[in-house]
């Protein structure tokens, strides 16, 4: 059986990904900062819960120990993330965001991915078909951000696009360092979740499609790519 850990899996895309993978036979670990909420989700979809706060070294190390003791890991979905918003769900502009604001976003979206991947690296190495899926964003594409004909061109914020571009860079580097694994970044699309104040235009079922597909890649699947439902995206 394939064992999968999903960070930030108590709501939105994380919960939907967990539900879908459990339904196809994965043994799913719900990575949950709120253990009570994690237990509720796990009970609902037939999964396990592991307390995990991507901002905390001790929490992530303890989670890795628990998953290792239970038998190991095949798939890691780095889903936990934040997007800064102002009052009224407004997106901050460069004039609004300070270095401290950007650092807060990077701490979760970039350093969280590093912290979790580093802690679970040895477990994934033991898998016959290791997979890492990093949940990114279309806003990570520098091509899109700089193209006046792209919808992402008009997003004003600093920290969120920069952090997701960082996730893409991590994806490339991990794919090169871990050639036995399939390591890819996913643009789920503009999905209505708590992350964006439910402003998205897609359902979580639609947003989770590509995450779920890449979480099931075999050893002959692509690696080091940035993809959406419509195919490979430009960096």
pLDDT in tens, 110-157: 999 999 999 999 999 999 999 999 999 999 999 999 999 999 999 999
158: tokens are 């600093």
Active-site residue numbers? 160, 164
Structural contact between residues 6 and 26, judged by C-beta atoms closer than 8 angstroms = no
What is the C-alpha to C-alpha distance for residues 141 and 234, in angstroms, rounded to an integer?
6
Would you put residue 192 in left (φ > 0), alpha (ψ -120 to 50) or beta?
Answer: beta
| pTM for this prediction | 0.96
For 190-203, what is the mean pLDDT?
A: 75
pLDDT tens per residue across span 32-58: 999 999 999 999 999 999 999 999 999
Element (H, E) at 48: strand 48-51
Q: Could you give the angle at the alpha carbon of 93 between the alpha carbons of 194 and 139, nearest 5°?
A: 60
Q: What is the CA radius of gyration of the chain?
A: 17
pLDDT at 123: 98
Q: Is the pLDDT of residue 220 over 80?
A: yes
pLDDT digits (tens, 9 = 90+) for 89-114: 999 999 999 999 999 999 999 999 99
Residue 17: name the closest of 223, 215, 195 by CA: 215
Weakest mean pLDDT among 130-134, 185-189, 201-205: 201-205
* Number of Cα atoms under 13 Å in the Cβ half of residue 132: 33
Measured CA distances, 32 to 75, 132, 176 (Å): 17, 18, 29
The three-class DSSP label of residue 188 is coil
């Amino acid at each position: 059986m394939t064992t999968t850990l999903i960070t930030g899996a108590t709501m939105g895309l994380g919960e939907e990904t967990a539900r879908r993978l459990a339904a196809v036979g994965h043994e799913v670990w719900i990575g949950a900062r709120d253990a009570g909420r994690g237990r509720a989700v796990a009970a609902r979809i037939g999964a396990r819960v592991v307390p995990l706060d991507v901002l905390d070294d001790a929490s992530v190390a303890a989670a890795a120990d628990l998953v290792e003791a239970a038998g190991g890991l095949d798939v890691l979905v780095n889903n936990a993330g934040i997007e800064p918003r102002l009052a009224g769900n407004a997106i901050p502009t460069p004039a609004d965001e300070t270095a401290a604001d950007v650092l807060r976003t990077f701490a979760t979206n970039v350093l969280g991915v590093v912290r979790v991947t580093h802690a679970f690296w040895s477990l994934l190495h033991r898998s016959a078909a290791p997979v890492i899926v990093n949940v990114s964003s279309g806003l990570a594409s520098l091509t899109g951000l700089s193209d006046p004909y792209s919808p992402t061109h008009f997003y004003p914020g600093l920290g969120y696009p920069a952090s997701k571009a960082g996730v893409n860079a991590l994806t490339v580097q991990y794919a090169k360092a871990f050639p036995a694994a399939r390591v890819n970044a996913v643009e789920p699309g503009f999905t209505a979740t708590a992350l964006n104040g439910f402003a998205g235009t897609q359902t979580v079922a639609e947003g989770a499609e590509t995450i779920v597909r890449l979480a099931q890649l075999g050893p002959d699947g692509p690696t080091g790519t940035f993809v959406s439902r419509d195919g490979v995206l430009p960096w």
